[in-house]
Amino acid sequence: MVCTEWTVRETSTEPIIFVLFAGTDRYSLQGYTALEMRLVPHAGGDTLTFTPTDDELAITNSPEGEVTFYPKTDTLLFSAIAYDVYFWVTDGPGNKISFPHNSSFVLQIIDNL
């Protein structure tokens, strides 16, 4: 299993770009009806959920499967240690597809000191 990791400083508002793949091909988000991103903290606690209706998540290149997360200063907490990142896409016929496949996305959080 492949693990893609990002190291992010707590309180950072730098955009984080994710690319969704189906096998070795980028997954086109054209024609999707819903998108959801969940961040599950390694240290336990509440799972954070985002959709494009939030100002922290956007589809930035739908043909290429590109999704950008714009965290607010209080979104990513050092106390979480890291977050596993999951996406769910609902396509036109209503099928719910989860990402990533055979890999994982992890946001490592470092202290802002």
User: Which tens digit of pLDDT belongs to each residue from 28-68?
Assistant: 999 888 999 999 999 999 999 999 998 999 999 999 999 99
> Rounded to an integer, what is the distance from CA 25 to the centroid of its chain?
18
Res 4 pLDDT > 90: no
pLDDT of residue 1: 52
Share of the chain above pLDDT 70, in %: 96
pLDDT of residue 95: 87
To the nearest 10°, the Cα dihedral for 95, 89, 19, 21? Answer: -10
Task: Supply 32's token pair.
Answer: 């999707």
b/e sequence 40-50, b meaning 16+ C-beta within 10 Å: ebeeeeeebeb
Match 């200063």 to its residue by tokens.
Answer: 73
pLDDT of residue 66: 94
User: Top-level CATH class of 2-110?
Assistant: mainly beta
